[in-house]
Amino acid sequence: MKTLQTLQTLKTLTVIKIGGNVIDSEVALTRFLGDLSILDRSESQWILVHGGGKIATDLAKRLGVEAQMVDGRRITDAAMLEIVTMVYGGLVNKRVVAGLQAKGVNALGLTGADGNIITAHKRKHPTTDYGFVGDIDTVNTAQIRALLDAGFSPILSPLTHDTFGTMLNTNADTIAAALACALAMSGERNVRLVYCFEKKGVLRNVDNEHSTIPTLSAIEIEYLRVSGAVAKGMLPKLDNALDALRSGVETVHICHSDEILSVLQGEQCGTKITL
């Protein structure tokens, strides 16, 4: 159990992304929200970005809406956009917000449309029509800062908007990286980015939980990419991590959701990404 005292030294703005598998597990999510409430009582400010989990896919199935995936990205037609707006922006976001409020955290749920925080455009791709999938154009750091200064802890769902009235489905890893980049570039000091998920970090052997790679540099990531020695779904996360570091984000970690406080205290756990 981490104590408040051990976290007092933190004076950073931390962007934390929590993966869909953690959202899907009541035990893991409850523990994670408890840890966030300890972090909240430190001097550190943070923003949480949550993934979607399986609920949207399950709901789509129940409604007879077919969920298509290309390269790990969901194809979002109009029916699927309604589903993800409901599930990510409604059900999941409010589960996290209400859960945090119950622990004394002044959480406030957002999509990119709320406060115009993240604008995007429909993905342009030469061969695939991704539908209502949004690639990020702008992150409105002034609005995020206004919410933080007013004492709110922002909880972002993986949704953006096109500024013409349409919501867009945007990958949560990418949102977290874009937020961290934009905040670092806008002059925020000590921006950290932490990807929390159900594994202990980037694993040498995806079947061995004890094979966490403690640090990964850009060159090593390039080697992993070429050799194919890393889980395919991990590569976009690693690319996001490198983008963040190149934009001035101080540190990027990939870790288990149970280890968020340890990582933020500088303990050796998870995978630290370096340039």
Q: How far is the CB of 202 from its own copies (least distance, A)?
A: 33
The residue among 114 and 173 lying less far from its own copies, judged by its C-beta, is 114
| 109 contributes a contact to its own copies by CB under 8 A | yes
Options 21, 163, 190, 274; binder of its own copies; rule CB under 8 A: 163
Which 69-108 positions form the footprint of its own copies (CB under 8 A)? 82, 85-91, 93-94, 97-99, 101-102, 106-108
Terminal Cα distance for the chain, rounded? 32
Number of neighbours of residue 149 by Cβ within 10 angstroms: 9
Coil, strand or helix: which one is 214?
A: coil
For 230-256, letters b (16+ CB in 10 Å) and e give beeebebbbebbbbbbebbbbbbbbbb
The residue among 106 and 268 lying less far from its own copies, judged by its C-beta, is 106
Residue 55 near residue 62 (C-beta atoms within 8 A): no
Options 4, 11, 54, 63; binder of its own copies; rule CB under 8 A: 63
The residue among 55 and 242 lying less far from its own copies, judged by its C-beta, is 55
The residue among 61 and 204 lying less far from its own copies, judged by its C-beta, is 61
The residue behind tokens 């943070």 is: 46
Q: How far apart are CA 13 and CA 251, in angstroms?
A: 11
Q: How far apart are CA 148 and CA 128, in angstroms?
A: 38
| 116 contributes a contact to its own copies by CB under 8 A | yes
Two structure tokens written together for 9: 């030294």
Q: Count the residues of the shown chain that bind its own copies, applying the rule CB under 8 A.
A: 41
Q: At CA 175, angle to CA 173 and CA 176, rounded to 5?
A: 65
The residue among 144 and 234 lying less far from its own copies, judged by its C-beta, is 144
Stretch that binds its own copies, among 12-20, 165-173, 203-211, 244-252 (CB under 8 A): 165-173
| 110 contributes a contact to its own copies by CB under 8 A | yes
| 159 contributes a contact to its own copies by CB under 8 A | yes
| 147 contributes a contact to its own copies by CB under 8 A | yes
The residue among 62 and 232 lying less far from its own copies, judged by its C-beta, is 62
Q: How far apart are CA 120 and CA 238, in angstroms?
A: 22
Options 10, 36, 40, 114; binder of its own copies; rule CB under 8 A: 114
Two structure tokens written together for 185: 């570039």
The residue among 6 and 163 lying less far from its own copies, judged by its C-beta, is 163
Q: How far apart are CA 96 and CA 101, in angstroms?
A: 9
The residue among 164 and 205 lying less far from its own copies, judged by its C-beta, is 164
Options 7, 18, 39, 167; binder of its own copies; rule CB under 8 A: 167
What is the H or E stretch that residue 272 is in? strand 271-273
| 133 contributes a contact to its own copies by CB under 8 A | no
Residues found near its own copies in the complex (CB under 8 A): 62-63, 82, 85-91, 93-94, 97-99, 101-102, 106-111, 113-116, 143, 146-147, 149-152, 159, 161, 163-167
